[in-house]
A = this chain, B = another copy of it.
Amino acid sequence: MSTAKTAEHDIYARRESEVRSYCRSFPVSFTKAQGSTLTDAEGRDYIDFLSGCSTLNYGHNDPDMKAALIEHISRDGIAHGLDMHTDAKAAFLESFEHHVLRPRGMEHRVMMTGPTGTNAVEAAIKLARKVTGRTNVISFTNGFHGMTLGALALTGNHGKRAGAGGVSLNDVTRMPYEGALGEDVDTLAYIETMLNNPSSGIEPAAAFVVELVQGEGGLNAASAEWVQGLAQIAKDHGALLIVDDIQAGMGRTGSFFSFDHMGVEPDMVTLAKSLSGFGLPFACVLIRPEHDIWKPAEHNGTFRGNTHAFVTAKVALEKFWADDRLRNQIALKSQVLEERLHIIAERIGGARIKGRGMMRGVDVGSGELAGRICAECFDKGLIIETSGADDEVVKVLAPLTTPMEQFKEGLDILDRAVEALVPQPMMAAE
């Protein structure tokens, strides 16, 4: 890991904590960004297949959001208003109701939490525990839900959990995600058997917290059948179903929610990342009305309801979710992506395609190879990262709005990087 500047003069080496990470993979200084292109201080352009880990589903600095935000700031619109009523908040809520909730028949209420995904997850599990009077929460292998203690307890990743510094991460029971025990093992049967056994030692659950595509956990994608089965088990056992749609929501899998067309309606949904549309910190929990038993301020926070984010989020909803155009574009690009990833996967012995919609990648078998592929891509002007328990998946998280030409260009770079590093298909060796 080298940086462009020498350590002596480097403000980062001198003053930023060792916890910094992405800057180690992409050791340049970025100065501007537009659409799917990032530009560094030396004027070099990079295609962005990382999208702020799915925070920039509509690309960088979307001109309409940008204009609305500048207009808001220019006219001294509220920048920070705690959770007071503002015109911007009302407009966002009405737009969210109109374009997202009402078309789906969802009665959910919106809880503005602190503007981080982990805060939304913490709020959701606190509420589920209050609603059910139970403390145990079920989460899944390879799940990723945040870094604060309550959410970290739900997170599977060993390295992240080690960050807790030895504190026990309690009141969570881990269950196997679809496919976690091998492709042919029915993990729902396991879950159901364990929960049905009164002597299993597993406490009754307040909630199941699940991602329908595991963004950090290796792009494992649950089937509709599995999700429905899980929802039924949760219901049968009096547990709430909480879908963590922080990374997979806002269009990433093809529709606004990852659970659209899956035949389930979650009791709660956590949203963050691309919710503002512009990359601004913003998070919320959607709550079925009967579960909205919060007392005022029982979960609070200084930045809940980021007004700048309301402004951009409203534009995003109206620009992208008022009709089917974006959905159709995603569908088309998803198909291209799948086809190209198949070709890429075939270059690598044993590689597997993972994910769903525009949240896909290739499990190349080792974190070491995946890391080298990403580094090679960066050299060639493509920003792309890994995912998975061993960082073994090269993950494509391009903005959903990437022009087709540029999208293919990025995939070409990826393809060539794989070709360069894995010169001949191992599978077809003989």
Contacts and interface: CB of A to CB of B under 8 A. Distances in A.
A85 B29 contact: yes
Given A3-B85, A176-B193, A182-B193, 16 more contacts: A11-B94, A17-B292, A26-B85, A31-B77, A31-B86, A52-B302, A80-B280, A129-B164, A130-B166, A141-B194, A149-B150, A162-B298, A168-B171, A199-B389, A281-B281, A281-B303
B200 A166 contact: no
A300 B12 contact: no
Contacts of A302: 52-53, 55, 116-117, 246, 272-273
Interface string A251-282: 00000000000000000000011000011110
Interface stretch (A66-74, A322-330, A333-341): A66-74
- How many copies of this chain sit in the oligomeric assembly? 4
Interface in A238-255: 246
Contact of A142 (B29, B61, B200, B206): B200
Contacts of A128: 165
Contacts of A285: 17
B163 A117 contact: no
B197 A389 contact: yes
10 contacts: A24-B296, A33-B76, A38-B81, A70-B73, A79-B280, A118-B301, A126-B167, A147-B300, A149-B153, A156-B197
Interface in A172-221: 172-174, 176, 180-182, 189-190, 193-194, 197-203, 206, 217-218
A380 interface: no
Given A130-B165, A157-B199, A199-B141, A114 B122 contact: no
Contact of A30 (B28, B73, B86, B161): B86
Interface in A71-120: 73-87, 90, 93-94, 96-97, 101, 109-112, 114-119
Nearest to A149: B150
A34 B76 contact: yes
Contacts of A36: none
